[in-house]
Amino acid sequence: MKEVKFNEYAKDVVEQIGKGAFLNTKYHDKKNTMTIGWGNMGIIWGKPVFTVAVRYSRHTYELIDKAGEFSISVPLSGNLKKELGFCGSKSGRDFDKFKECGFTEVKGQKTNTPLIGECDIHYECKVVYKQAMEPALIDKSIDDKFYTNNDFHVLYYGEIVGCYETSK
């Protein structure tokens, strides 16, 4: 893997997030990945930050909350649609998604969180802030569309401590 500037592929990464990317977590010997379709990347507090939203009900929530770090693996080449579907519909409580999808687990260079070798761009992040959503402050149209079951998100702001492209 080759280290690159966090914003070198920002346009491509932001476009791909809407189609799906992988949010990876690990706490002790438990690891997981899940599909995300929402995320933000930018500068906050003078630091490069990747923000992700994780519902309380997700297995990933338990792991990221304890570990205080996460990674994002982005498949820019569009070749992991089946895997994105699996990781977005199955729980890490029930499946080892790395094994089920045949992912190559790459050890993080600056965190203990794994990266997915089949992806093109990777971000290693350390949580610098987390914020529970305040239901009363959500626009009604968003609340009606995404939170009918009151399964709200926690927003994790992760300082990007490493960004890499996979050498092909």
CA distance 53 to 110: 22
* Adjacent-strand bridge partners of 121: 74, 165
DSSP 164: E
CA distance 144 to 79: 33
What does the pLDDT read at residue 137? 95
Q: Are 71 and 122 in contact (CB under 8 A)?
A: yes
Domains of the chain (ranges plus CATH)?
A: 2-165 (2.30.110.10)
CA distance 25 to 34: 9
Residues 92, 19, 136, 159, CA torsion sign = positive
What does the pLDDT read at residue 168? 59
Which segments in the chain show pLDDT lower than 70? 168
What average pLDDT does the structure give for the chain? 94
Q: How far apart, in Å, do the first and last CA atoms of the chain sit?
A: 9
What does the pLDDT read at residue 79? 85
What does the pLDDT read at residue 167? 73
Residue 44 neighbours by CB under 8 Å, 6+ apart: 157
What does the pLDDT read at residue 78? 78
CA distance 126 to 68: 6
